[in-house]
Amino acid sequence: MDIIGSLDPYVEVKHGNYKGVTKHLEKNQNPVWNQVFAFSKVNLQSNIIEIIVKDVPLRVGHVSGKDDFVGHVSFEIVDVPLRVPPDSPLAP
C-alpha cells in the first residue's frame, strides 16, 4: 500500500514469454477484474502460469520508478480449465 494506505492494483498474467496485463484499479483493496486472457497452444514455452499482483505507487516521493509487488501465485497449465469448443463458456 502507499504511504496513505491506498492500493491501486493490477495483475500480470505470464505464460513463458507471453504476458497479459489488467487495467489498474484506483484505491481498491478488494479488486475484481473479470478479464479473460487467452494464450495460444502453439509454441508453448512453459507449463506454468504466473499471476503477479502489483500496485501503482503514489508517485510523489516514490524514488524507484517501479510498481510495488503485492503478491504472486503460479500453477501448472494442466490445472487451467479449457474452452471446448473455443467459443463456449469456460469449463467448470
Boundaries of domain holding 45: 9-79
pTM: 0.72
- The predicted pLDDT at position 91 comes to 47
Are the CB atoms for 15 and 77 separated by under 8 Å? yes
Q: Look at the chain and report how many structural domains it folds into.
A: 1
Residue 22's CATH number: 2.60.40.150
Label residue 53 left, alpha or beta by phi (over 0 means left) and psi (-120 to 50 means alpha): beta
DSSP state of 78: G
- Cα separation, 74 vs 11, in Å, equals 13
- Residue 28: the pLDDT is 81
Query: Given a cut of 50, is residue 67 above it in pLDDT?
Result: yes
The reply to whether 56 falls in a domain is yes
Cα separation, 81 vs 77, whole angstroms: 9
In a domain, 39, yes or no: yes
In a domain, 13, yes or no: yes
Is the pLDDT score of 16 beyond 80?
yes
Instruction: Name residue 21's beta-bridge partners.
Output: 12
31 part of a folded domain: yes
d(CA 59, CA 25): 16
Q: Cell triple for residue 92?
A: 467448470
pLDDT band (50, 70, 90) for residue 73 = very high
Tens digit of each residue's pLDDT (9 = 90 or more) over 18-45: 889 999 888 888 888 888 887 777 767 7
In a domain, 71, yes or no: yes
Q: Does residue 55 lie within any of the structural domains? A: yes
